[in-house]
Every structure is written in structure tokens, then in C-alpha cells.
């Protein structure tokens, strides 16, 4: 490490979506300022490249504060309104990456390749002359002379303003290992305990292994003190270790957070999302009375995938070949309860190694929503996933990165 100190106007730590966007927006608004964008990794934009299965779900047409968890929804709404989705679309179009819309408002690059998104961002950075510094891992930030002294693995930098855009802890091999939280804490900030989110869940036992590869529409409910504390409807995918798919991923962060305070919280799946007990019972009785005296297995296969119904019947020790109309009232009710309130014995999750985002982070009440500046340490700003905001699946997390970057940059 050299003893000389490089001085610039603005240092941005983290070269993910939020850091890159902050650097571009800041340079466009303040052309005279010198900006350094630091990242510990050798190659930048790792998460952009791997996102959306290699297609990068850049944003969501319908993004609103209700699509996010974490701190104050008023704060989140304010930031989203400052840089809404139509500005994201225009920004990427101007940068040479047109977006197209798919189901549920999801926006992807027209090429369906995340590389297009990263290339567009890098081109923009090069055009406006941002000083990009990979292999600059920030190890310490201290206040000095009204500004900051930033110690990196490749030298010391001084700047009156710094933006922490270091992400969370998910996929730590990309460089987002939570060190930004430590830096924020050293500058006086608190931390909402981070937990993995948008992550597959692990089930106890082995029964689910027979179902690996099957996807079915369900309603997933988190039960706490006997009541539904959160609910998601959507596809659930059975895997060799447990469950995944949109409904499960969206629930996973809430499940982790709830478990921290209440070990008795549990998950239930409703395999008949459009039914309640009465309508499901009526359907079952109607099918049972149809011509040919259908077996329980064949009737259940009209409700849910055949393999799932077989495993369910085994578990309940009911004879699938038996005639449905011979089912006793007690067994019929038992069966309906397990279709509508199937207990999922979740033992944990696949952890940060497979979590798309981190829930928790720097508390929003310590940040000014019109500048993303710290209320605790002036000159320090935040953008992206480092904050206590996590979106559901569908492009919402990137939209948070772009919007929070815009607000942070407007105040630099």
C-alpha cells in the first residue's frame, strides 16, 4: 500500500447495480466533480450478470412500496416516486438497452441477456469518465477533517462525501460479504439483523424427495400464535432438499425474520388455492358420486399433481385404490384439512449462498429519504441493498437499486 493519499470529491464503495447507477447519475448532475468507484472484486457487476437466470429482470412496471419489506413504506414510496419505473426504462433505452415487458410487469432487456444491461452501464460510465477501481477493497472508513479517509487494499483515498453501496450478504463469492454493515456501524449506524431472503427452504425428513421437480400452485401461509401472519400465492417447486419457487422465495425472508423472535412459527400450504373447506368438500363429494365409482387416487389427481396426491395418501395411510364414496366422514375431513392446511416441516433455508437478497440492513430511520444521507454522520450516503429494504421476486430489488441511487446522487 502506498503512503500517498488520493483526493477526490466523491467516493462510491461498491460497483453493483446501486453503486454503478449512483456514479452515472452523480456524474451527469455534477460534471465537474471527481468520482471514484471502488470495488473489492476484480470483475464488476457479478450480480447483474447472474440475475434473472442470466436475463436480468431489470425492473417491474408495477413497482410500489407494497412490494417491499423492511423499514418505513413511506420512505420506500418516496424513493420510488423520485425515480419511478418509466425513468428506469428511459434511462436504459438512452444507454442502448431497450427493455421489454413480460408477465406480471417484469422488465427484461430486449436481448434477454444480462450482459446487455451491464455493457450499457459500463459504456455510460466510460462515456462520462468515471474512475472505476476494481481490486480496491475498502477495509476501513474514518472521519477526518470534515470528510472521510478511506483505507483500501490498494491505497488511501480522502473525500468529503462517500456513498456506501456495498450490498448485503447474499452470494458472498460475488464480493457482497456484509463488510459494508461493519463500516456503517463504525460510523455510528445501527443494524437491523440481516437474514437471507428470496432463498429456497429446507424440509425435514425425506418424503419430499419423491416429489422433486414438481411445481404446483399453492397459497403459503406463515402461522404465528395460531393466526396467519403472512401469505403468498404462486407456484411452489418441490426439490430434493425441500421447496422453492416464487411463493416460497417470497415467504423465505419473512419466515427467517419471524423465526428469530418466535421459534413456534410454522408454514402451511393450501394445495387448493381457490377453495375453502366447504367448496373443497363439495367438489370432492361431487367427484366421488360420478359414474364408475372413481378411486381416491384418481379423484385426488384432479385436485393436484398425481405424485403429490400419492405421497399425501401414503402419509395419511389412506388407500388410494379404495372407492372415494366409501371414505368415512372423519377421513374425508382429515384429507380436506391436509389439502387445505398441509404442514411444511421447514428446518431452515439454503442460506446466503443461495439467497437472492438480504433482508435487514442499515435502518431507514437513520437516513434522510430526500438525500439518502445519514442522519448520524453527515457526508455519508447509502444506496441499494445495504439498506433495510428487500423486494419480492420480479425485478423489484433492481428497481430499489436504481431509485435509491438516483436519490443519493441528486444530493452529492
Ligand X SMILES: Cc1cc2nc3c(=O)[nH]c(=O)nc-3n(C[C@H](O)[C@H](O)[C@H](O)COP(=O)(O)OP(=O)(O)OC[C@H]3O[C@@H](n4cnc5c(N)ncnc54)[C@H](O)[C@@H]3O)c2cc1C
Answer for which of 401, 407, 409, 412 binds ligand X (CB under 6 A) is 401
Count CA atoms closer than 13 A to 219's CA, side-chain side: 14
Question: Of 41 and 412, which has the nearer Cβ to ligand X?
Answer: 41
Span near ligand X by CB under 6 A; candidates 219-227, 241-249, 280-288, 397-405: 397-405
Cross-strand partners of 380: 162
Binding mask 363-392 for ligand X (x = CB under 6 A): ---------------------xx-------
- Quick check: 337 and 318 in contact, CB under 8 A? no
The reply to whether 176 sits near ligand X by the rule CB under 6 A is: yes
User: Closest distance between ligand X and the C-beta of residue 358, in Å?
Assistant: 8
User: Closest distance between ligand X and the C-beta of residue 397, in Å?
Assistant: 3
From residue 22, how far is each of 4, 15, 96, 106, 162 by CA, in Å? 27, 9, 18, 23, 11
One-character DSSP codes across 9-47: SEEEE--SHHHHHHHHHHHHH-TTS-EEEE-SSSSS-HH
Answer for which of 25, 75, 91, 171 binds ligand X (CB under 6 A) is 171
Count CA atoms closer than 13 A to 132's CA, side-chain side: 23
Question: Of 182 and 223, which has the nearer Cβ to ligand X?
Answer: 182
Q: Which three cell numbers stand for residue 273?
A: 388455492
Contacts (CB under 6 A) with ligand X, residues 18-77: 18-19, 38-41, 47, 50-52, 56-57
Give the whole-angstrom CA distance, residue 154 versus residue 121. 24
The reply to whether 194 sits near ligand X by the rule CB under 6 A is: no
**Looking at residue 262, what DSSP letter applies?**
-
Span near ligand X by CB under 6 A; candidates 120-128, 164-172, 221-229, 267-275: 164-172
Question: Of 180 and 360, which has the nearer Cβ to ligand X?
Answer: 180
Closest to 12 measured CA to CA, from 185, 188, 132: 132
Q: How far does the chain reach from its first CA to its final CA, in angstroms?
A: 28
Q: Which three cell numbers stand for residue 195?
A: 437474514
How many residues in the shown chain lie near ligand X by CB under 6 A? 37
Answer for which of 75, 232, 238, 398 binds ligand X (CB under 6 A) is 398
Answer for which of 356, 366, 373, 388 binds ligand X (CB under 6 A) is 356
The reply to whether 165 sits near ligand X by the rule CB under 6 A is: yes
The reply to whether 180 sits near ligand X by the rule CB under 6 A is: yes
The reply to whether 340 sits near ligand X by the rule CB under 6 A is: no
Give the whole-angstrom CA distance, residue 140 versus residue 133. 16
The reply to whether 166 sits near ligand X by the rule CB under 6 A is: yes
- Quick check: 365 and 72 in contact, CB under 8 A? yes
Answer for which of 12, 17, 27, 197 binds ligand X (CB under 6 A) is 17
3-state secondary structure of 149: strand
- Name the region of 189 (left: φ>0; alpha: ψ -120 to 50; beta: rest): beta
Span near ligand X by CB under 6 A; candidates 10-18, 263-271, 298-306, 369-377: 10-18
From residue 254, how far is each of 33, 156, 365 by CA, in Å? 41, 40, 20
The reply to whether 361 sits near ligand X by the rule CB under 6 A is: no
The reply to whether 107 sits near ligand X by the rule CB under 6 A is: no
Cross-strand partners of 230: 222
Question: Of 232 and 352, which has the nearer Cβ to ligand X?
Answer: 352
The reply to whether 357 sits near ligand X by the rule CB under 6 A is: yes
The reply to whether 397 sits near ligand X by the rule CB under 6 A is: yes
The reply to whether 245 sits near ligand X by the rule CB under 6 A is: no
User: Closest distance between ligand X and the C-beta of residue 68, in Å?
Assistant: 11
Contacts (CB under 6 A) with ligand X, residues 126-145: 137-138
The CA R_g of the chain, rounded to the nearest whole Å, is: 25
Neighbours of 45 (CB within 10 A): 24
- Binding residues for ligand X (CB under 6 A): 13-19, 38-41, 47, 50-52, 56-57, 137-138, 165-167, 170-171, 175-176, 179-180, 356-357, 384-385, 395-398, 401
Amino acid at each position: 500500500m502506498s503512503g500517498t493519499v488520493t483526493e477526490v470529491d466523491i467516493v462510491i464503495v461498491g460497483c453493483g447495480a446501486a453503486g454503478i447507477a449512483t456514479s452515472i447519475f452523480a456524474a451527469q448532475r455534477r460534471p465537474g466533480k471527481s468520482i471514484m468507484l471502488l470495488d473489492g472484486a476484480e470483475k464488476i457487476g457479478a450480480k447483474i450478470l447472474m440475475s434473472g437466470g442470466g436475463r436480468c429482470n431489470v425492473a417491474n412496471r408495477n413497482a410500489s412500496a407494497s412490494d417491499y419489506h423492511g423499514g418505513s413504506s413511506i420512505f420506500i414510496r418516496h424513493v420510488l416516486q423520485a425515480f419511478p419505473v418509466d425513468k428506469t426504462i428511459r434511462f436504459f433505452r438512452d444507454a442502448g438497452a431497450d427493455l421489454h415487458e413480460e408477465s406480471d410487469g417484469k422488465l427484461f432487456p430486449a436481448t434477454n441477456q444480462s450482459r446487455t444491461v451491464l455493457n450499457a452501464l459500463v459504456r455510460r460510465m466510460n462515456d462520462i469518465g468515471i474512475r472505476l477501481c476494481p481490486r480496491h477493497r475498502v477495509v476501513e472508513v474514518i472521519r477526518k477533517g470534515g470528510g472521510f479517509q478511506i483505507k483500501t487494499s490498494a491505497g488511501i483515498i480522502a473525500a468529503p462525501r462517500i456513498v456506501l453501496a456495498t450490498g448485503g450478504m447474499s452470494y458472498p463469492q460475488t464480493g457482497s460479504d456484509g463488510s459494508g454493515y461493519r463500516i456503517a456501524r463504525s460510523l455510528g449506524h445501527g443494524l437491523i439483523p440481516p437474514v437471507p431472503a428470496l432463498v429456497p427452504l429446507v424440509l425435514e425428513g425425506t418424503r419430499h424427495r419423491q416429489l422433486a421437480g414438481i411445481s404446483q400452485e399453492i397459497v403459503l401461509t406463515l402461522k404465528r400464535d395460531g393466526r396467519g401472519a403472512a401469505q403468498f400465492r404462486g407456484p411452489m417447486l418441490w426439490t430434493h432438499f425441500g421447496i422453492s419457487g416464487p411463493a416460497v422465495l417470497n415467504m423465505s425472508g419473512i419466515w427467517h425474520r419471524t423465526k428469530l423472535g418466535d421459534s413456534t412459527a410454522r408454514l402451511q400450504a393450501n394445495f387448493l388455492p381457490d377453495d375453502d373447506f366447504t367448496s373443497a368438500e363439495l367438489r370432492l363429494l361431487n367427484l366421488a358420486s360420478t359414474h364408475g365409482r372413481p378411486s381416491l387416487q384418481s379423484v385426488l389427481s384432479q385436485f393436484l399433481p398425481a405424485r403429490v396426491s400419492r405421497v399425501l395418501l401414503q402419509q395419511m395411510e389412506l388407500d388410494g385404490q379404495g372407492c372415494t364414496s366409501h371414505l368415512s366422514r372423519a377421513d374425508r375431513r382429515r384429507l380436506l384439512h391436509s389439502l387445505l392446511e398441509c404442514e411444511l416441516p421447514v428446518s431452515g433455508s439454503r442460506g446466503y449462498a443461495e439467497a437472492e437478497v438480504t433482508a435487514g440492513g442499515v435502518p431507514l430511520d437513520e437516513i434522510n429519504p430526500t438525500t439518502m444521507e445519514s442522519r448520524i454522520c453527515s457526508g455519508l450516503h447509502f444506496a441499494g441493498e445495504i439498506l433495510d429494504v428487500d423486494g419480492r421476486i420480479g425485478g423489484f430489488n433492481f428497481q430499489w437499486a436504481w431509485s435509491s441511487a438516483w436519490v443519493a446522487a441528486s444530493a452529492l
